[in-house]
Amino acid sequence: MADIDDIIAGGGIVFRKAKSDNDKGSGKVKTKAKKKKYITGAHGSGSARQKAKYREQRANRHRK
């Protein structure tokens, strides 16, 4: 009960972001969407093939 009184009187609890072990500070985002095989649909996923098809259609939209 004393802990609760201290929290109320002291102004509350401060929540901070948890420390992560794998944060190397590189700042790079590695996603499947940036990798060549995913962009071209070559790795076999149905959704990747479909997205690659739409990317190709969008790229060819203004070509004559």
In this prediction, residue 57 carries a pLDDT of 92
Q: What confidence score (pLDDT) does residue 29 get?
A: 66
Structurally, the chain folds into a number of domains equal to 1
Q: Could you tell me the two tokens for 63?
A: 């070509």
Do the domain assignments include residue 12? no
Q: Is residue 43 part of a domain?
A: yes
The separation between CA 46 and the C-alpha centre of its own chain, rounded to angstroms, equals 21
Beta carbons of 52 and 39 less than 8 angstroms apart: yes
| Domain contains 11 | no
Residue 4 lies in a domain: no
pLDDT per position as a tens digit, 4-61 = 787 777 777 778 887 766 655 556 666 766 677 777 777 778 888 888 899 899 999 9
Q: What share of the chain is helix, strand, coil (3-state, %, to 5)?
A: 50, 0, 50
Domain of 54 in residue numbering reads as 29-64
